[in-house]
A and B are shown apart, each in its own frame.
Chain A
Amino acid sequence: MEKVLLKNIGNPNSADITEYKKAGGYKSLQKALDLEPKAIIEEVKKSGLRGRGGAGFPAAMKWTFASADPKFPKYLLCNADEGEPGTFKDRPILEKNPHLLIEGMVISGYALRAEYGYIYLRGEYPDAKKILDTAIKQAYDEGLLGENIAGRGVKFHLSVHQGAGAYICGEETALIESLEGDRGQPRIKPPFPVNVGAFSQPTVVNNVETLSNLPYIIEIGGEAYSKIGSPECPGPKLYCISGHVEKPGVYELPMGTTLRDIIYNHCGGIKNGTKLKAVIPGGISTPVLPPDKIDCPMDFVNMPKHGSMLGSGAVIVMDESVCLVKVCYRALKFFEHESCGKCTPCREGTGWLRSILGRIENGEGMEGDIDLMLSIAGNVLGKTFCPLGDGAASVVQNFIKHFRPEFEEHISARKCVVKG
């Protein structure tokens, strides 16, 4: 499959607008501007594009709601918070192919009749900040952003809003709070951002990868696009693989490539030929899978059927040397640190689970700790304000579900059995 999202990022100057144009950049924008906004949304609908941020929500549906709302101005926010541990798929677009994103955003902005866009960029990407600022300036200079885009009387302003180290700000309503200069805590829904979002105006929030698909959809048409990869959720997908594989990195593959194919073919198998012990397929919040469950097509529809989720497509591969209790502990440490504190179960539950896991890893586990953790996780799951808490709970549940003996041995041996 030809590269779409990572097209010519081999070129050291790929981030430069002239290089981007040489490679055919901004043609789709011209094409798009010849279409009615509605027609563009229609194409996106045909394409079957689903959000790449984790939830896999149909992009066209979100857009239809937002453009149906009579209020103006409307806002388009690009979610570049990429906070889900294990995820580094948006980074190459941001750092090597920024104009693809900008072009995608201008097209989307035009389709939504949104006049203002912000890229909510995580604070941990200082390079991306500089690169995007330069790229945006270039786009302004060439009249591809501003009051009168490509001389077509279309208005779209874009700038980067830098986050400051809060995973929860990847959640779209928390992101909006943070953009508005507040503590990044999720908002009550409804009303949904498509009606009452940034600055109380209709707002669409999309992931970097999602928006970067637009130029291609316009180029080849929704129909053709929908033929790529999984029928139910088509398109090219960025998978980012880390951990114990020979060739970790970001791979652009058709949506629905199986986990096994990704690990063993594309990434050259397990590092130093050791044995696979566990895989987290979609970022740390998604349920861990044991080696016998990796023949699943990596897409939004099939992963749930195989007991996990596609999430952000962040595959973390772990070999025999890894202590899963410790991984689970580290994951909960993360959730505890990132809990925004708004709702009780997540605020208190994550810390409690973390400390129990810490004890077990340090050989201070007690009889009944495992069932206690399951009970606590049960009291969190489905009770929290936003999915972050759910993620924390399901991590514990699934590690125990698939690897209970390892936890039990830690407790009975009163030490970490993997370290030996």
Chain B
Amino acid sequence: MLSETAIKELEEIRAKYPTARAALLPALYIAQREFGYLSPEAYEAVSSALGVPKAIARGVGAFYAMYKHKPMGRNIVQLCTNVSCMILGAEKLADLLKNKYGLESGGTSPDGRFSLVIMECIGACGTAPAMLVNDDFYENLTEKYIEEILGKYK
């Protein structure tokens, strides 16, 4: 079940579109926020809220890389490794996250503090290498800088 606030939020969003189906992507974001990830329960909640068959809802959710289908750590580190970032050392950073924080791509650190998602281009090529931690951009990364950034996230 979605929370009261979520339902209200969804109704407002729904009103912006001519069809309920069009509110599916936003609804999935809301459900992901509420349930932590898109669990079967999350999909069922969205399905009944919008009247979209649940298999359809899941098919749509499963298409997009930013919807999560397993539990995530408290903070999501989204590191870009596409060409511009790669040629400026993104791989070293990935190694660091692996060796120092035990973060494999798609994995979660043992202490559940971080999950790592290797991203395609996040549009910060001019200040590469770059990453997003949750909703915060960090650019011109170095190994030292990354450690100090992650220090801020508990």
Contact = CB atoms under 8 A, between A and B. Distances in A.
Q: Do A and B touch each other in the complex, judged by CB within 8 A?
A: yes
A29 B125 CA distance: 33
B45 interface: no
Contacts of B120: 83, 85, 165, 167, 334, 337-338
Interface in B109-141: 119-128, 132, 135, 137
A181 B24 contact: yes
A125 B18 contact: no
B54 to A, nearest CB: 14
B121 A164 contact: no
A314 B85 CA distance: 14
A182 B66 contact: no
Contacts of B132: 124, 126
Nearest to B117: A165
Nearest to B57: A181
Given A162-B25, A181-B60, A242 B82 contact: no
Interface in A291-340: 314, 316, 318, 321-322, 326-327, 330-331, 334, 337-338, 340
Contact of B65 (A164, A178, A240): A164
A23 B86 CA distance: 39
Given A165-B66, A166-B63, A184-B63, A125 B123 contact: yes
B55 interface: no
A87 interface: yes
Contacts of A389: none
B67 interface: yes
Interface in A82-134: 82-88, 91, 122-127
A285 to B, nearest CB: 12
Given A164-B28, A164-B65, A165-B66, A242 B128 contact: yes
Interface residues of B, number: 40
Contacts of A85: 82-84, 120-121, 125
Given A164-B66, A242-B125, A248-B126, A181 B19 contact: yes
A242 B127 CA distance: 8
B119 A124 contact: yes
B81 interface: yes
A162 B84 contact: no
A321 B88 CA distance: 10
A380 interface: no
B60 A183 contact: yes
B135 A126 contact: yes
Given A85-B120, A87-B121, A165-B66, A249 B126 contact: yes
Contact of B83 (A181, A241, A250, A316): A316
Interface in A162-185: 162-167, 178-184
Interface string B80-122: 0111101110000000000000000000000000000001111
Contacts of A249: 126
In which size bucket is the chain A interface?
Answer: 35 or more
Interface string A211-247: 0000000000000000000000000000011111000
B24 A124 contact: no
B64 A184 contact: yes
A199 interface: yes
A244 to B, nearest CB: 7
B31 interface: no
Contacts of A161: 25-26
A60 interface: no
Contacts of B121: 83-87, 284, 334
Contacts of B88: 243-244
Interface string B17-38: 0110111111011000000000
Interface of A: 82-88, 91, 122-127, 157, 159, 161-167, 178-184, 199, 240-244, 248-250, 280, 284, 314, 316, 318, 321-322, 326-327, 330-331, 334, 337-338, 340
Given A165-B120, A199-B22, A242-B128, 9 more contacts: A88-B125, A180-B21, A181-B21, A243-B87, A248-B125, A248-B127, A314-B125, A327-B83, A330-B83
30 contacts: A84-B121, A86-B82, A86-B83, A86-B125, A88-B124, A123-B64, A123-B66, A124-B122, A126-B135, A159-B16, A161-B26, A162-B25, A163-B64, A164-B65, A165-B67, A165-B120, A166-B64, A166-B65, A181-B19, A242-B126, A243-B83, A243-B125, A243-B128, A250-B126, A280-B83, A322-B87, A330-B86, A334-B121, A337-B65, A340-B63
